C-alpha cells in the first residue's frame, strides 16, 4: 500500500496520457543529448552542458510527477513544469540576444527549435492539464473526474 496522503489524484487518463508520452520522449531526447555532450566535450562549454543535463533531469522528474499520484507529486509537477517554462523562455531569449553564451546547442536554445518547439509548447499544455486536474480530497476518489475520459 502506498502511504496514505490527505488528498488523492486519479490516475492520469485520456489525452493526459499523450502528454506524458510526449514528456517521456522529450526526456529521452534531452537525456541522450546531454549524455553525448558530457562524454565528449564537457570542457568546451561546462555551463551549457550542465544546463543540458539539469534540463534532462527536470524532464524526467516532470514525467514521473505527471504519472504519480498524491498532492506532493502534484506540487513537484508544478515546480518542474514551471522550471521548464522559465528555462525555455530565459535560455531561448538569451540564445537570440547573446548567442555567444549558447553557441553549443541545448534543448532550450532558440526556444527549442531543434525539437520542433515542443519544449516551448509542452509546459503550457502541462500547466493547463495540471490546473484542470487538481488533487481531490481522499474518500471521493470514486467521484467522476472532469476531463477524464474513457
Partner 1 sequence: MIEWFAYAQIAVAVLAGVLCLIVGFSGRTPNDYTLGATALVELLLIIQFVVALLSPAFGNNARGDLLEFYVYAVSALLLPAAAVFWALIDRTKWSTVILGVACLAIAVMVFRMNEIWLYQNV
Tell me whether residue 35 or residue 79 sits nearer to partner 1 (CB atom): 35
Which residues partner with 8 through β-bridges? 136
Grid coordinates given for 97: 540576444
Residues in contact with 70: Cβ distance below 8 Å, sequence separation at least 6, in sequence order: 2, 5, 7, 8, 9, 135
Among 2, 6, 116, 139, interactor with partner 1 by CB under 8 A:
116
Closest to 96 in 3D by CA, of 113, 119, 76: 113
Among 1, 6, 39, 98, interactor with partner 1 by CB under 8 A:
39
Q: How many residues bind partner 1 (CB under 8 A)?
A: 18
Q: Does 25 bind partner 1 (CB under 8 A)?
A: yes
Tell me whether residue 38 or residue 127 sits nearer to partner 1 (CB atom): 38
Please tell me the distance from the alpha carbon of residue 67 to that of residue 65, in angstroms, as a whole number. 5
List of residues contacting partner 1 (CB under 8 A): 13-15, 17-18, 21-22, 25, 28-29, 32-33, 35-36, 39-40, 116, 150
Amino acid at each position: 500500500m502506498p502511504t496514505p496522503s490527505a488528498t488523492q489524484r486519479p490516475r492520469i487518463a485520456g489525452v493526459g496520457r499523450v502528454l506524458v508520452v510526449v514528456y517521456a520522449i522529450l526526456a529521452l531526447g534531452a537525456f541522450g543529448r546531454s549524455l553525448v555532450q558530457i562524454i565528449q566535450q564537457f570542457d568546451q562549454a561546462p555551463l551549457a552542458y550542465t544546463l543540458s543535463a539539469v534540463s534532462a533531469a527536470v524532464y524526467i522528474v516532470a514525467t514521473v510527477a505527471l504519472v504519480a499520484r498524491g498532492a506532493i507529486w502534484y506540487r513537484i509537477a508544478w515546480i518542474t513544469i514551471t522550471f521548464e517554462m522559465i528555462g525555455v523562455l530565459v535560455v531561448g531569449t538569451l540564445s537570440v540576444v547573446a548567442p555567444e553564451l549558447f553557441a553549443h546547442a541545448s534543448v532550450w536554445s532558440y526556444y527549442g527549435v531543434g525539437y520542433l518547439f515542443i519544449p516551448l509548447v509542452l509546459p503550457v499544455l502541462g500547466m493547463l492539464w495540471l490546473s484542470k486536474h487538481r488533487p481531490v480530497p481522499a474518500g471521493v476518489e470514486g467521484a467522476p473526474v472532469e476531463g477524464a475520459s474513457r
